[in-house]
Amino acid sequence: MRRYVVLISILALLLGLTIWITNLEWIKEGVYRPFTRGDILNSTISHLEMVLIAELIAISIGIPLGILVTRPGFRRLATPVVGGANVGQTIPSLAIIAIMAPILGFGLESAVVALFIYGLLPIVRNSYAGINNIDPAIVEAAKGMGMTRGQIARKIELPLALPVIMTGIRISTVITVGTAELAVLVGGKGLGTITLNGVLTLQPLTILQGAAPTAALAITLGFILERIESWMTSQGLKIKAEIA
């Protein structure tokens, strides 16, 4: 309950701040034109669009890839794949975005591809860890009782790994919302355009007009995904978590 209060307070603060700046009369009369509510709304939508497209691709590639390297026969790929994901994560997001421009040129595609690559890593890593960390005794029991490999995956491994995989998606999404701020550098759109404008014109309030909605977006998406995770997780696993 307390968490909800904190969450809603922070959201209200961020949105209030954005609206307050947008309505400031003295800024409107100044040299620099503040962004209007319409500008911010459009930027938020295009920001969300980039994030969602990149995440959808990252999820649809990352989960199968992470699970694949836990399968016998592909297990020897686990070290390069997961190790690669870990190393990839240490590269600054700015570097990945910057690399994309010379490769794919300026535009939305470059931005989305960069976001997808960066967002892929936590999903691959958590999908792998989620399956790999299941108590081997559980899988052995399932096998010993005559479950086929598919049945074990469907009824045991996926449900048990689900919370970890969902956490990977949540982390990835929240990171991507932040990284998408930089998409403007390679010709992407989104709230980064507002923030960058503020930086170039040395207008702190304009920077906030881009930064505050970004933070609000990250918090909101994180919260929604957390609720989905909780809703999808078996009751039995929640009980175990409470006891442990």
Partner 1 sequence: MIELDKVSKVYPDGTEAVKEVSLEVGKGELCVLLGPSGCGKTTTMKMINRLIPITGGKIYIDGVDNTKMDENELRRNIGYAIQQIGLFPNMTVGQNIETVPELKGWPKAERRKRAEELLELVGMDSGEFIDKYPGELSGGQSQRVGVARALGADPPILLMDEPFGAIDPITRIRLQDEFLKIQQEIRKTVIFVTHDIYEAIKLADRVALMKEGQIVQYDTPANLLYRPKNEFVENFVGGDRALKGLQLIRAKEVMTSTPPTVSADEKAIAAKQRMEREGLDSLVVVNHDGKFLGWVNKAHLGRGDKVGEIMSSSGMTATVNTVLNEVLSLMLSQGLENLAIVTEDNKLQGMISFDTIRKALAEATQRRQAE
> Is residue 229 part of the contact set for partner 1 (CB under 8 A)?
no
- Determine the Cα–Cα distance for residues 216 and 218; give it in Å rounded to an integer: 5
CA nearest neighbour of 138 among 238, 237, 231, 67 = 237
Nearest alpha-carbon partner for 216 in 39, 28, 44, 72 = 44
Long-range interactions of 145-150: CB distance < 8 A, separation 24+: none
231 binds partner 1 (CB under 8 A): no
Whichever of 37 and 75 has its CB closer to partner 1, that residue is 75
From candidates 148, 227, 228, 230, binder to partner 1 by CB under 8 A: 148
> CA separation (Å) from 96 to 93, 114, 140, 211?
5, 6, 42, 21
Asked if 57 touches partner 1 (CB under 8 A), the answer is no
- 33 or 155: CB nearest partner 1: 155
Binding of residue 237 to partner 1 (CB under 8 A): yes
Whole-number Å distance between alpha carbons of 56 and 185: 22
Q: What is the DSSP letter of 82?
A: H
**Piece of 56-64, 121-129, 139-147, 178-186 that binds partner 1 (CB under 8 A):** 139-147
* Token pair for 172: 């990835």
Q: How far is the CB of 143 from partner 1 (least distance, A)?
A: 6
Residue 156 touching partner 1 (CB under 8 A):
yes
Contact 84, 78 (CB under 8 A): no
Q: Which is nearer to partner 1, 38 or 136 (CB)?
A: 136
Q: Is the dihedral of CA 112, 161, 166, 91 positive or negative?
A: negative
For tokens 């550098």, the residue is: 185
Q: What would you measure as the largest C-alpha separation in the chain, in angstroms? A: 76
Residue 133, SS3 per DSSP: coil
Closer residue to partner 1 in complex, CB, 38/144:
144
For residue 16, the tally of other CB atoms under 10 A from its CB is 11
- Chosen residue from 7, 81, 147, 219 binding partner 1 by CB under 8 A: 147
Verify binding: residue 232, partner 1, rule CB under 8 A. Answer: no
Q: Does 71 bind partner 1 (CB under 8 A)?
A: no
Q: Is 141 in the site for partner 1 (CB under 8 A)?
A: yes
| Least Å from the CB of residue 241 to partner 1 | 8
| Least spacing, CB of residue 72 vs partner 1, in Å | 14
Among 73, 146, 202, 231, binds partner 1 (CB under 8 A): 146
In the complex with partner 1, the residue whose CB is nearer, 147 or 205, is 147
Measured from the CB atom, the residue of 148 and 201 that comes closer to partner 1 is 148
Interface residue list for partner 1 (CB under 8 A): 135, 137-148, 151, 155-156, 159-160, 234-237, 239-240, 242-243
